[in-house]
Chains A and B, each alone.
Chain A
């Protein structure tokens, strides 16, 4: 029986990143993936003949540039196509011109914003500057294992001192801005900058994605910053749509891992992480096969890892308690549409460049907050927030010639929906989404050739993300940094010797970012992540 240095549970993008780095360092690594394909939630599938969907996650926004470089992902087929604009229709049935667009080109963008508010057009640059500065302050934190402020371990003290130095050097003015960002709601933060409702709402949306919070919930401003991190890399442009869909991201990372000598086993569902004498010994597959390894790394989320695969009996009570209270509360759904023709928006008719960017259904902060109100009480938003992209506009190979795929990210669709998720409720969600889109682009209904609706319950069932939370645990302040996933266990280690975590349920978490996988590998190799 072959014995490995490292067995990685779950072939999601973080598991694959971790495998690639460990294999690169000469470790014998095996990745064990439950499904017949790798990628986890970053996967593409031909759901309807000729139409390829990024079924779950659908854009590359935060994939760490150092991972792209160090694993040479472009050589393994990763091609990120920029999404250049965001269109926000102002209201359902809006007449031509009733939209707000954000364009890549500075002059074009300024002219468009000034159409709504000359003040916003001016504030836009300053706003961008402030977020740029803040992102630069925060960015170094992404690439380190978060030190535990309560620990007296010399290495953690050293890391803490490094961090303290970093923060001491921040000018007072910047520190104040950062503090505001860390504590405010995104709505409040944006109110200080802009007056156009559609602009504020569209910007605030990135503060609520994946969380069970509304734009007026405190702490959402930070999430906005988290999403802004990708912008830092400027012309490096790690932000966009992966040619071939997000499955290409996973495929490229898997190819890199294989190139470094890692093994990848699909259809190899791990049933249990065997623990003997407080030490992880093996990953046990359904069917009983034990894959023995010196180190087991779990890419599954904290709940599945500890309460499922390991089992409470092996863990300290306090730790189990924190994991139990780690919040998931999946709040988003996906509707993937195969289209016979492009949608025609009444606010901006025709097939212009706006169809190559994002289309955001976020006319006002109140609209988003109302969508959240429904969800707070266990209902699907009657008028949901939506982030729409049409990948086939950038990569025609996603659909047959002249036809298109449309990806609709929908929020809020709470995991804990009243009465639970059923087939009927799934279709009702699909209808609500299509009806809402039809309010802006009336031809959508007749254009639909096929519809795929993915609820949080589907995400949990298919990908294994608890409660369908796309970030493996809510990205809210009380669950970030040295608290992710549990106090004292944020440095990828666990209370079980030889068991590590590498999923986005660890710092920094969230998005197709890969940082958790990389940081975990660095920590396992004994370096300073």
Chain B
């Protein structure tokens, strides 16, 4: 049996599509409506509510909590302030990414860490000799992601929200329910994540949906989220990269530098897992880079016109590996992509060998048109594809 999240009683009642998917052993809605399209547009034009409870969550407390996290993740945790949230990858000793997630500093000596993979063993293995406790709060803490231009207005209609900068967190009460609100998300839009004790999950959901009605709030599923996160240029574990622990061969692994996360690696820190390997890699430059790709529309149009069809575009984001060429040579591969309903562009996230990774580089991507493999012109572009001012404003 798959597990259900603390919101299941509500989400299942809304799930008209009966389209569910697995996430870390839980079932979550792929889309609530028959198509995910409107849910997507709510992220960008109104507000959308996602159940993100399946994330792994750990509470790390104690005198040495910051020290442990600094040993594990690549960013500088000691220098973070209470109320700050860090997005960060963490690596094995070879400097290959194990997972990526967030570290929220709740106060001087306590942190909440989220991850995509179970991380208790890794955290404990790195805590030897340190004074702290690691508590798995994955089940006792429910999580919602409230995203979109109207998300702040929805929160304000429910309680006092202190001014929150991008990647900051505050403890507050929403209609009397204690909630941690962080200005974070996976959509690249204005948005918040809400962390609440599972016992209060349904009450929080009901309060949000009730006031949210006046702001166009819509429960949204993973299909809509997938489109938004690609537009935001955000990678997804197991899709865009293989976590080092699951890699069967070395070439399946990726370093933070190869995933465009150089900004999240702090080599000034005293010591952390993978530091030496990463310092060496930085010196020689990464072999691969993780970039944005835009597939040209006129080229696609021609390929379809050649077989007598109107241009076809993917209806949902895809998650398969697709070869990318520079002339006869394979320059790399795309790992996820799709049609951006907002930008009206066919976009993808891709791994390219560094020599082809510069923005503006013209490449070809494989595309199947009426059962035949063709190549369509594509271009390397800067990520994120979509980056509205309101995200940080």
Contacts and interface: CB of A to CB of B under 8 A. Distances in A.
Interface stretch (B78-86, B87-95, B126-134, B339-347): B339-347
B215 A394 contact: no
A235 B45 contact: no
B315 A235 contact: yes
A234 B344 contact: no
Nearest to A351: B213
A153 interface: no
Interface stretch (B35-43, B60-68, B196-204, B272-280): B35-43
Interface string A250-283: 0000000000000000000000000000000000
B344 A396 contact: no
Given A108-B34, A234-B310, A401 B342 contact: no
B40 to A, nearest CB: 10
Contacts of A73: 344
Nearest to A107: B34
B344 A69 contact: yes
B149 A232 contact: no
A460 interface: no
Nearest to B47: A396
Contacts of A401: 153, 157, 214-215
Contacts of B35: 104-105
**Size class of A's contact patch?**
20 to 34
B371 interface: no
Given A82-B37, A243-B45, A397 B149 contact: yes
A68 interface: yes
A24 interface: no
A302 B215 CA distance: 44
A179 interface: no
A237 to B, nearest CB: 7
A81 interface: yes
A396 B339 contact: no
Query: Which applies to chain B's interface (DSSP): helix, strand, loop or mixed?
Result: loop
Contacts of B323: none
Interface residues of B, number: 30
Contact of A396 (B46, B313, B314, B345): B46
Nearest to A403: B214
Interface string A80-111: 01101000000000000000000011011000
Nearest to B386: A74
B34 A105 contact: yes
A493 interface: no
Contacts, number: 75
From B45, B214, B215, residue with most partner A Cβ within 10 Å: B45
Interface string B325-360: 000000000000001011111000000000000000
B146 to A, nearest CB: 14
A238 B342 CA distance: 10
Contacts of A107: 34
A418 B239 CA distance: 68
Interface string A230-254: 0011111110000100000000000
A396 B215 contact: yes
Contact of B342 (A74, A234, A396, A397): A74
Contacts of B214: 396, 401-402
Interface in A58-85: 65, 68-69, 73-75, 79, 81-82, 84
B112 interface: no
Nearest to A73: B344
B313 A236 contact: yes
Contacts of B118: none
A323 interface: no
B104 to A, nearest CB: 30
- Of all A-B residue pairs in the complex, the 4 with the closest CB atoms, nearest first, are A402-B214, A396-B216, A401-B214, A105-B34
Given A69-B345, A236-B313, A396-B215, 10 more contacts: A74-B344, A81-B45, A84-B37, A105-B34, A136-B310, A233-B311, A235-B315, A236-B339, A356-B38, A402-B214
